[in-house]
């Protein structure tokens, strides 16, 4: 789409006609000029009548040059299609427990019983897909904590590497403190312009390994502005076969340290959630979406390319042509006078 940035400049188009009407005729000013012996040469080069001036090609070149100059002053531009601005989101780290207890099959997914990690993968993958514009990182922890994916906008890679994770990959125990410390380190490496920082930590147990106490690591997270949402995963009751026959109810989440997870969240300005089944786990991730909403894209913009130099170049080229024609006319007149002088 083409438009004019300053369309009001087009009002200058009739300016030459206005000046012609207001200023005295040049023919009257020339009456007192120097008389020459003969006007024959002038008559051959210039038609002094009004109709002749209109038909004069120089008149039309000057008119076109003026129109191009006014159009250039109005600044023509080409407006492109609307483009969406890139969304600048937050830094979001996901820390997923891969300890041996995550093998407990107390969740259901698609009408079949699955282990905790399988349910986590399914729900967390949907959560990652919704985080458009966020830089997402993935930490996997068990007895040790590993940075599986650094902060990136490539959500598909994060989902793929999460789905490839398996229980025991990082050891059988649980190092919650080390996982938080690793997240703090990655956030600290982002520098002062890191922006909004969030860690979603999911575990089904207590801190049984690692070098850093979870509360101490939460204190470090608070200092760098890392907000932590903790999720305790695991059913509260599960029927299992009894050794003496029949079935009995057990608590498969007896080792879950809810007090520590709650303290971690409160120290960093986050929240603690309890996921006892797949439905509540889905609700928790949706609630995290509400607490940490995805940045809305800003109003799009249309790229604008200025085109004023095309009519300006045309006007300058025509002006140069007119100047050349005037110079040539002057030379011809001078030559004509010399011929008349020699003849006389």
Segments of the chain scoring below 70 in pLDDT = 25-55, 82-89, 191-195, 238-248, 294-302, 342-344
pLDDT of residue 198: 92
- As a whole number of angstroms, the distance between CA 210 and CA 146 comes to 12
pLDDT of residue 247: 66
Name the residue ranges covered by the structural domains of the chain: 2-81+303-343, 91-291
Considering only CA atoms, which of 32, 162, 158, 186 is closest in space to residue 96?
162
pLDDT of residue 344: 62
pLDDT of residue 162: 95
User: C-alpha angle 111/290/219, rounded to 5°?
Assistant: 105
pLDDT of residue 46: 47
- Could you please state the CATH topology (level 3) that the domain comprising 91-291 is classified under: Rossmann fold (3.40.50)
- Angle between the 176-189 and 214-223 helix axes, to the nearest 10 degrees? 20
CA 189 to chain centre: 23
């Amino acid at each position: 789409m083409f438009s004019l940035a300053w369309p009001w400049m087009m009002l200058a188009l009739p300016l030459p006609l206005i000046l012609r009407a207001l200023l005295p005729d040049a023919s009257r000013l020339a009456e007192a000029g120097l008389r020459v012996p003969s006007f024959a040469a002038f008559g051959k080069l210039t038609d002094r009548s009004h109709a002749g001036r209109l038909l004069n090609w120089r008149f039309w070149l000057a008119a076109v040059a003026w129109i191009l100059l006014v159009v250039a002053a109005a600044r023509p531009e080409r407006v492109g299609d609307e483009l969406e601005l890139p969304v600048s989101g937050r830094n979001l780290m996901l820390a997923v427990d891969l300890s041996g207890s995550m093998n407990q099959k107390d969740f259901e997914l698609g009408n079949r019983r699955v282990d905790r990690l399988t349910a986590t993968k399914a729900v967390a993958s949907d959560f990652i897909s919704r985080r458009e514009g966020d830089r997402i990182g993935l930490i996997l922890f068990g007895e040790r904590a590993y940075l599986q994916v650094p902060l990136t906008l490539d959500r598909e890679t994060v989902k793929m590497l999460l789905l490839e994770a398996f229980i025991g990959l990082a050891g059988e125990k649980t190092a919650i403190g080390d996982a938080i410390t690793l997240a703090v380190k990655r956030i600290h490496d982002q520098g002062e312009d890191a922006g909004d920082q969030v860690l979603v930590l999911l575990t089904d147990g207590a801190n049984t390994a690692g070098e850093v106490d979870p509360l101490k690591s939460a204190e470090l997270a608070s200092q760098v502005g890392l907000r932590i949402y903790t999720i305790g995963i695991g059913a509260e009751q599960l029927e299992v076969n009894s050794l003496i026959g029949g079935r009995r109810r057990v608590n498969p989440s007896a080792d879950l340290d809810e007090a520590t997870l709650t303290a971690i969240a409160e120290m960093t300005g986050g929240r603690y959630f309890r996921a006892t089944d797949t439905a509540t786990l889905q609700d928790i991730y949706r609630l995290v979406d509400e607490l940490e909403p995805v940045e809305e894209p800003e109003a799009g913009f249309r790229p604008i390319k200025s085109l004023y130099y095309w009519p300006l170049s045309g006007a300058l080229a025509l002006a140069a042509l007119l100047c050349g024609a005037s110079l040539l006319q002057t030379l011809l007149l001078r030559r004509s006078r010399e011929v008349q002088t020699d003849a006389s």
